[in-house]
Structure 1
Amino acid sequence: MLQLGDEVTLYSVIFVVVLLGTRSAVWTTALTVSLYVFVAVFRFPQVPADRAKQVLHPDRGAYGTGKVSAIAHRGGGHDAPENTLAAIREASKNGATGVELDLQFSADGVPILMHDETVDRTTNGSGPLTKSSFSNLRKLDAAAKHRLRRQFSEEKIPTLEEAVEECIRLQLIIYFDVKSHPNEAAAALKALYKKNPGLYNSSIVCSFEPKVIYRMRQSDPDVVTALTHRPWSLSHLGDGAPRFTSPWKHSWMTLLDVVLDWAHHHLLWRFCGVSAFLIQKNFVSQDYVDYWAQRGVEVVAWTVNTKVEKEYYQELLQINYITDSLVEDCDPHY
C-alpha cells in the first residue's frame, strides 16, 4: 500500500505527476493549488479524540478492556443468522464489545439489516431488495440458510430501528456498515441519532464508499465515522483470486486499485475527517498501525476468525478487530 508521508509530500507528488503530464509549470501550479484549496475548504475535521475513544475503546463486554474491542461481524454470522436480532443477542451473550450491522433499504424505503443486495444467500426467498417491499421481506426466514437454522428457525429480517433498540438495551457498541444509498442512509441515521443521542458515544458509521461517509458528515458532523478498505478489491476477489479473466481488464483494474489505495491513504480519509480506518486483516502490521496513529486515526482489522489471530491483534498490536465468531475458529468472510 502506498504510504508517502505527510501533506507536503502528498502535494509534492501531485505536483510532479501533473507536471509530467502537462509539461506546463503554470497549469501544474494552478491545479495543485486548486486541489489544496478545495480539500482545505470542503474537508471535515475529525470529531474530538475523546469522543472517538469512547466509541472505539469502551470498557465493556468480555473483550472490552478499554484497549481492544471485539466486534461481532454482521452480528456474529457464524454464531447466529447474520444481521438478525438473534445474532445481536448471541454476540452480547458471548462477550462481544459491539456488533457490526449492514444497512440496506427495502423497495419501499424501510431501513433494514441486510448485507447483500438480494435475499437469496441468507433467506428462503429470492430476488433483489429493490423489488421487495418490507412487508414481503418480513415474511422470509432469515435463518433458512444458516448452519444453526433449527436453533434459530423463523428469525425475521429486522428494521434498523429494532436492531438499534436491541443494541442499546444490551449496551453494545454499533458499527453501522452502510452498503449504498448515501442520501437515504444519511437521512435515516441522522433521524436515529436525533432520537437516540446516546449513539453519538456508542456507534460509528463506516462504508467502503467515501461518498457515504462524506454525506454522513454533511448531514451530521458530530457522528464518528470510518472508511472501510480492502486493497486490490477492484481487480481481485476477497480470497485473492483475480476478478477478471481478461488480461487487459485485469491490468486496468489493477491500475485503478493503485489510485484508489493512494486516495484512501492520502486524500479521502482527510477529506471525510474519519476517526478510524477498517482494513482487511492481511494488510495490518505494526508499521501500518503506527502510520495511522500519527494521523490520529485508529485501525480496525477485519475479519479476524482464529484464536491465534485474535491474540495477535489483542495482545501485540492492541487494536480492535471484527470477527464472525466469539466462540470458535471459523472460515473468513469477505
Structure 2
Amino acid sequence: MLQMGEEVTLYSVVFVALLLGTRSPLWTTALIASLYFFMAMFRFPQVPSSRARQVLHPTQGTAGSGKVSVVAHRGGGHDAPENTIAAIRQASKNGATGVELDLEFSADGVPILMHDETVDRTTNGSGPLSQMRLSELGKLDAAAKHRLRDKFAGEKIPTMEEAVEECIKLKLTIYFDVKGHPDEAAAALKELYRKHPVLYNSSIVCSFEPKVIYRMRQSDPKVVTALTHRPWSLSRLGDGAPRFSSPWKHHWTSLMDVVLDWAHHHVLWKLCGISAFLVQKNFVSP
C-alpha cells in the first residue's frame, strides 16, 4: 500500500481539482477519472460490518439489548478528573458501556491520557507535554482543577497502557480519540492491539484528521475506525467563535470547511474505509 503525501491534505487537492474542473468538460472528465483511479489505488476496505456493529453497539445480544450505548466523554470528566483511571472506574459504576479517551504523548514518547497539548487546564503543573517527560508528569495532580478535587486529590495522569488494561478489566468499549501525531499514534495503537487482541472487538480509533485514520488503517487495517466531524471545525472553535483573528485566514478556512464537508460525504469515508462518523450532538437534527 503506497503512502499519501506528508503535507498535502486530501481536501486541499480536491479543492484545487474542483477549481480546475470548472474550466471545461474535458477537465472535469479527466479529474473525475483521476479521482476514481486514486480511490482504486489507495483506498482501504471497511472491516466486516458485523464486527463494527459489535464495537458500536456492545449491548446488542445481551440483557441490555435495545438500549443505546453510553460512552463517557474524556473517560467521564464530570464525575471524576477527566482522562484518569478514577474517571474510567466512575463511568463504569454509573452504567457507561464505554469511554472516550484522548491520546497524547509525553516528551519521551510515552502514550498518555490528556486532551490538551499542555497540562495547565487540568493539573497543578504548567507547560507543554512536548517538554515534559513521563517521570515529570507522574508528579502532577490530575485532580487539581476538578470540581471534586478534594475527593480525588493526588490522582495521576495515566499511561494509555494503564487505561486500556483498566477498561478491559471493566469490559468497557474504548473510543481512542487521536488529535494529531499520525505516525506516532498509529505505531502506539498498533502495539496496543498486538498486546491486547480483545481491542479489535471492543474499541474504535477516531479523529477529526483524515490523515490520522488513514495512517491507522495503513498500519493495521483490521482496526475499526471513525471520522469525527463538526461542521466549520477548521474555521471555528467548538463554541462557534472564529479560530483566526485574520479575516483572510477566516474566509479561507471557511471555504476549506465547505470542501472538507463535501469530501467527508463523497471521498474520505471510502478512502479510509471507516465504519462510522462521529457527529457533535448540536448538529444532529430530530
- TM-score normalised by length of structure 2: 0.89
Once the two structures are TM-superposed, the CA of residue 144 in structure 1 deviates from its matched residue by 0.5
Provide the rounded CA distance (Å) in 2 between the counterparts of 1:278 and 1:63: 26
Structure-to-structure mapping, 1:91-130, within 5 angstroms = 91-130=91-130
Provide the rounded CA distance (Å) in 2 between the counterparts of 1:257 and 1:31: 21
2:265 aligned partner: 265
CA gap of 1:79–1:123, structure 2 versus 1, over 3 A, is same
Provide the rounded CA distance (Å) in 2 between the counterparts of 1:267 and 1:117: 30
2:31 aligned partner: 31
Provide the rounded CA distance (Å) in 2 between the counterparts of 1:101 and 1:178: 9
Once the two structures are TM-superposed, the CA of residue 254 in structure 1 deviates from its matched residue by 1.2
1:20 aligned partner: 22
Provide the rounded CA distance (Å) in 1 between the counterparts of 2:181 and 2:64: 32
Q: Which amino acid aligns with 1:170?
A: L
Query: In percent, how many aligned pairs have the same letter?
Result: 77
**What secondary structure does 1:78 align onto?**
coil
**What secondary structure does 1:174 align onto?**
strand
Q: Which amino acid aligns with 2:122?
A: T
Q: Deviations over 1:6-59 (max 9, x none)?
A: xxxxxxxx99864423x361x433222111111122111111010001100012
Contact in 2 for aligned 1:58/1:64 (Cα 8 Å) = no
CA gap of 1:253–1:172, structure 2 versus 1, over 3 A, is same
Q: Which amino acid aligns with 1:75?
A: G
CA gap of 1:15–1:121, structure 2 versus 1, over 3 A, is closer
1:79 aligned partner: 79
Contact in 2 for aligned 1:142/1:154 (Cα 8 Å) = yes
Contact in 2 for aligned 1:243/1:250 (Cα 8 Å) = yes
Once the two structures are TM-superposed, the CA of residue 242 in structure 1 deviates from its matched residue by 2.5
CA gap of 1:128–1:168, structure 2 versus 1, over 3 A, is same
Q: Which amino acid aligns with 1:202?
A: S
Provide the rounded CA distance (Å) in 1 between the counterparts of 2:210 and 2:223: 15
1:195 aligned partner: 195
Q: Which consecutive unaligned segments of at least 5 residues does structure 2 have?
A: 1-15
Structure-to-structure mapping, 1:22-171, within 5 angstroms = 23=24, 25=26, 27-59=27-59, 65-171=65-171
Once the two structures are TM-superposed, the CA of residue 280 in structure 1 deviates from its matched residue by 1.1
Q: How many residues align?
A: 271
Structure-to-structure mapping, 1:272-283, within 5 angstroms = 272-283=272-283
Contact in 2 for aligned 1:229/1:277 (Cα 8 Å) = yes
Once the two structures are TM-superposed, the CA of residue 152 in structure 1 deviates from its matched residue by 0.4
- TM-score normalised by length of structure 1: 0.77
Judge which range, 101-110 or 247-256, deviates more: 247-256
Contact in 2 for aligned 1:85/1:163 (Cα 8 Å) = yes
**What secondary structure does 1:238 align onto?**
coil
Contact in 1 for aligned 2:46/2:275 (Cα 8 Å) = yes
Provide the rounded CA distance (Å) in 2 between the counterparts of 1:183 and 1:246: 31
Q: Deviations over 1:96-137 (max 9, x none)?
A: 010000000000000000000000000000110110000000
Contact in 2 for aligned 1:112/1:158 (Cα 8 Å) = yes
CA gap of 1:249–1:171, structure 2 versus 1, over 3 A, is same
Tell me the C-alpha RMSD between the 2 structures.
Answer: 2.1
Provide the rounded CA distance (Å) in 2 between the counterparts of 1:259 and 1:200: 32
Q: Which amino acid aligns with 2:117?
A: E
